Each structure stands twice: as C-alpha cells, then as structure tokens.
C-alpha cells in the first residue's frame, strides 16, 4: 500500500482572480434591447428577483489588499503595546496618588495639632493674638487645598483608566474586524480542490487503461479551499503520484482476486484543513513497492557497477 502526503504552502497569485457574488441568475442588460431587459427584470409570480455579479480583479491588487491588511494588523499591535505601557504608568500613578494623599493627610493632622497646642499655650500665657489665629487658619486652608488637588488628580486618573479600557475594547473589536477582512480577502484567492477532480479522474482512467488494470479514485474533502496558484502548482505532481499509484501500487485484476481483493483497486485522495495549512494524503490498497525488484534493478545499474569496479 503506497501513500503520499502533500502540504501546500501559500504563494503569490500571478493570474487573474475572479470574484463572484452569488445572488441569483446572471443578466447582461448592456447587450440586451431595452424591452428584453425590462422583460427579464419582471420576476415570475412568487419568485424573488435576484442578480448575479461577476467582477474580475487583478491578482496583484488582491495581493496588495492582503498585504495592507497585514500592515494594519502590525500597526494595531504597536498601538496595543503603547496602550499597555500607558496602563502600567496609570497604575503607578494610582499608587503615587494614594501615597501623596496619605502624606497630605498626615500634614493636616500635624498642622491641626500644632495650631491647637500653640493656641492653648497663647491663651494660657495671655498673649494670644487674633492675627496669629488667622495665620494658623491659612496654613490649615493650604493643607486642605492640597488634599483637594490630590483628589482632583485621582479623579482625572480614574477617568483616564476608564477611557483606556474603552480604547482597549475598541481595539479588540477592530482586531476581530481586521481578522474577518483578512480571511475574506484570502478566500477570494481560494478555489475548491474539486475543481481538479475531473482532471485527476481522467488521469487515473487513462493510466488504468494503459496498464490493463482497474482503478477507482475517491476524493475526500474536495471542498477544501486552496490558493489558486498553489492548486495549479501541485496539479502536475498529483498527476504523477496517481500514475505511480496505478502503475506500481495497484496489482493486475487476476493478482488482486488471487490475493482475496476486489479486482478494482482503490486510490484515496483525502484533504483536511489544519490551521492555515491544507494537508493532502494519497494512498492506495495495492501491494506497495516491490523492494526486491528495486534492489535488483538498482544493483544492476551503472552506479552499482561503477562502485563495484572502484
């Protein structure tokens, strides 16, 4: 039993990409007479009027759009990094504001205790001056003003934190939209693997006819999307693998029946999506490679002869 695995990678598209918006049947009103166009526009009873639009876009333009979405993602990542730095600075500012508030509160307590002790001493000595009372009161007012300023700074800091949270949420929403846009742009360049199905089936039929064998190709996961240029690149290697499977893997019908197998060999080509990769597995139910024949053929070749003579 032979098997092969192909993991195609994305490559730039060099051909024209056809973008199709499937909404119904296609009408070309520019080439139809006015009356015919009007008759086309009248929907049948109970039918919903629909149109189908085909748009041909240059492949390099699609590539540029994909690249620009990547640049947008990079710029967003930089902004997110800057915002994380701002948030760290605001959290440090919160700690500094708390420490400053405690220090101002301690100053207020010290000022009040000092003013009370000096007033009591002045009253006791009979030397209390109302002007000194005003001076102590002014000092107390300054400490209270400092406390209010600290509270104002704390309010601004909390407002900045709320705004930063809102900006972070907006960036997260923008990241989701950018991801969807990138995926849709990539899907423009994608084609289902089934577009090669008829071509591959024909290769298997011709190879079986040439070798006098019976073989059937079973394609699984054919709806898997693959970049158009990648699909065109791997078409010829897949054809070669299928010819090898028929020529070297599948046995003759008589040999298969003697081995208790069906006269018709089965070749399975399966596709699966793994992350951003499309994994292709090719296998058959044949006897596999004849290692003894390969060794015999290799030992009789010019390379082996040269090694023996050397």
Residue 270: its H or E element: strand 265-274
- Residue 50's pLDDT is 63
- Distance separating alpha carbons of residues 276 and 255, to the nearest angstrom: 42
- Residue 158's pLDDT is 87
- Tens-place pLDDT, residues 79-124: 988 988 988 888 888 888 888 888 888 888 887 777 777 667 766 6
Is 16's pLDDT higher than 70?
no
- Distance separating alpha carbons of residues 135 and 142, to the nearest angstrom: 11
Q: Which residue has the higher pLDDT, 129 or 256?
A: 256
Average pLDDT, the chain: 77
Pair type for strands 3-6 and 277-284: antiparallel
For the whole model, what pTM was predicted? 0.50
Is 12's pLDDT higher than 90?
no
Cβ–Cβ under 8 Å, residues 101 and 150: yes
Cβ–Cβ under 8 Å, residues 288 and 264: no
Question: How many residues are given for the chain?
Answer: 310
The mean pLDDT value for 19-42 works out to 40
Candidate ranges 124-128, 244-248, 289-293; pick with highest mean pLDDT: 244-248
- Distance separating alpha carbons of residues 46 and 306, to the nearest angstrom: 82
- Tens-place pLDDT, residues 37-62: 444 444 455 555 567 777 777 878 88
Is 239's pLDDT higher than 70?
yes
- Residue 288's pLDDT is 75
Q: Which residue has the tokens 């423009």?
A: 188
Residue 124: its H or E element: helix 59-125
Among the listed residues 75, 87, 144, the one whose alpha carbon sits nearest the alpha carbon of residue 115: 144
Is 138's pLDDT higher than 50?
yes
Termini Cα distance of the chain: 37
- Residue 141's pLDDT is 78
Kindly state the tokens that stand for 128. Answer: 């209390």
């Amino acid at each position: 039993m032979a098997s092969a695995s192909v993991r195609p990678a994305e490559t730039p598209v060099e051909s024209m990409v056809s973008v199709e918006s499937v909404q119904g049947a296609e009408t070309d009103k520019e080439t139809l007479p006015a009356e015919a166009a009007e008759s086309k526009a009248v929907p049948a009873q109970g039918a919903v009027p629909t149109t189908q639009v085909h748009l041909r876009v240059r492949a390099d333009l699609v590539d540029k759009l994909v690249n620009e979405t990547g640049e947008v993602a990079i710029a967003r990542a930089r902004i997110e990094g800057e915002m994380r730095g701002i948030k760290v600075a605001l959290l440090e500012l919160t700690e500094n504001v708390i420490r400053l508030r405690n220090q101002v509160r301690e100053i207020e307590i010290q000022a009040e205790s000092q003013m009370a002790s000096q007033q009591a001493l002045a009253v006791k000595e009979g030397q209390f001056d109302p002007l000194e009372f005003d001076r102590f009161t002014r000092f107390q007012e300054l400490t209270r003003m400092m406390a209010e300023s600290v509270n104002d700074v704390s309010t601004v800091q909390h407002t900045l934190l709320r705004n930063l949270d809102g900006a972070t949420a907006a960036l997260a929403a923008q990241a989701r939209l950018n991801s969807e846009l990138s995926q849709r742009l990539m899907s423009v360049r994608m084609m289902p693997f089934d577009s090669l199905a008829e071509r591959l089936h024909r290769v298997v039929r011709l190879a079986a006819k040439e070798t006098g064998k019976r073989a059937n190709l079973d394609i699984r996961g054919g709806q898997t999307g693959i970049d158009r240029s990648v699909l065109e690149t791997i078409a010829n290697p897949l054809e070669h693998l299928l010819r090898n499977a028929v020529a070297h893997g599948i046995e003759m019908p008589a040999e298969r029946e003697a081995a208790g197998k069906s006269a018709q060999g089965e070749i399975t080509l399966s596709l699966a999506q793994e992350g951003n990769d499309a994994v292709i597995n090719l296998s058959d139910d044949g006897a596999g490679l004849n290692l003894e024949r390969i060794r015999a053929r290799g030992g009789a070749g010019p390379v082996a002869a040269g090694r023996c003579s050397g």
